[in-house]
Amino acid sequence: MSQYPALRLRRSRASAWSRRLHAETVLTPADLIWPVFVTEGTEEEPIAALPGVSRWSLAGIVDRAREARDLGIPCLALFPNTPHALRTEDGREAVNPNNLMCRAIRAIKDAVPEVGVLTDVALDPYTSHGHDGIVDAAGYVLNDETSAVLVEQALVQAQAGADIVAPSDMMDGRVGQIRAALEGDGHVNVQIMAYAAKYASAFYGPFRDAVGSRGLLKGDKKTYQMDPANAEEALREVALDLAEGADSVMVKPGLPYLDIVTRVKSAFEVPVFAYQVSGEYAMIEAAAAVGAGDREALVLETLMAFKRAGCSGVLTYHAPLAARLLGA
């Protein structure tokens, strides 16, 4: 008789019930945040660079919130496609309390108050130059001047009913300023999810189509978004944002930066989220379209990887598909 060790690890894998029993990581619809794009008008606008994703009118956004509620998805992340006529050098439409974002927040909270609303705090959907802040004559994004506008932007979003404000700009010190302003304005329960480790990535292209900033950007964002070569710097960024009052932190993009997710979770033991960005979504869709992989299996496996790495949740355009699969 062949000699085997006393323990065969395959024993626990032999049956489906046993595999479920021994699973170390669990993925549910409650782990998902669904990013959605809002636009003016009344029509759905499919986004060519993101197959299966559309921009939605206010009525359509409310329908997406109802869909999220029914699927068990706890939160929507809103991104506006601001009309080009309203985009300016200083991005002043961002602080208009009746801008597209604020109207979308109010529409959702009036109709589906039980669904959380996360809002993007950054100026790139509002600037004519496509940067996340105010630029000087040389094209450099000014940190402190930008942060002052971001504080106003976060306040109008909170006043409209946002549950989580998510500064995605990577300006130094803005989390502390936003936290102080929210406290001072009585919004003590509005959370801050800081884009703490946001990298200057090649995976953002389809998103820029979705928010209408493709072709506007002058230069790149490497003076404020992180160098993909750096990991220790990410820990410093997270430490600063937590010290300034962030309730949770985000790593962006997702799959290429799972090592950062794990290091952040291990170092700080706080809620860590990742954004499976537009380029990641588009790659899965492209692979499925040519038969290089099964869409449903690819989606669930990648989302499980985020949870296994240490994520509390994931922002993903595949959220409704994943929720249906998980609820089946």
- Nearest one of 44, 156, 50 to 100, comparing CA atoms: 156
Spatial separation of the C-alpha atoms in residues 166 and 247, rounded to whole Å: 10
Structure tokens at 233: 């710097």
Q: Are 167 and 151 in contact (CB under 8 A)?
A: no
> Rounded to two decimals, what is the model's pTM?
0.95
- Looking at residue 137, its pLDDT comes to 92
Phi, psi of 244 (to 5 degrees): -85, -5
Compute the mean pLDDT over every residue in the chain, rounded to the nearest whole number.
95
Non-local (6+) Cβ contacts of 319 within 8 A are 29, 32, 33, 34, 35, 68, 71, 73
Structure tokens at 282: 């588009």
- Looking at residue 172, its pLDDT comes to 97
- Nearest one of 197, 54, 215 to 124, comparing CA atoms: 215
Phi, psi of 88 (to 5 degrees): -130, 170
Spatial separation of the C-alpha atoms in residues 38 and 220, rounded to whole Å: 25
Catalytic status, residue 252: yes
Beta bridge partners of 118: 77, 164
DSSP secondary-structure letter at 91? -
Spatial separation of the C-alpha atoms in residues 94 and 82, rounded to whole Å: 9
Phi, psi of 136 (to 5 degrees): -90, -175
Spatial separation of the C-alpha atoms in residues 207 and 80, rounded to whole Å: 11
Structure tokens at 63: 């329908």
- Looking at residue 249, its pLDDT comes to 98
Q: Are 116 and 87 in contact (CB under 8 A)?
A: no
- Looking at residue 218, its pLDDT comes to 77
Spatial separation of the C-alpha atoms in residues 304 and 308, rounded to whole Å: 6
Helix residue ranges, H only, 16-92: 16-21, 58-71
Q: Which of 109, 221, 252, 307 is catalytic?
A: 252
- The three-class DSSP label of residue 15 is coil
- Nearest one of 9, 7, 46 to 206, comparing CA atoms: 46
- Residues of the chain where predicted confidence (pLDDT) is lower than 50: none
Spatial separation of the C-alpha atoms in residues 142 and 254, rounded to whole Å: 27
- Looking at residue 328, its pLDDT comes to 58
- Looking at residue 217, its pLDDT comes to 80
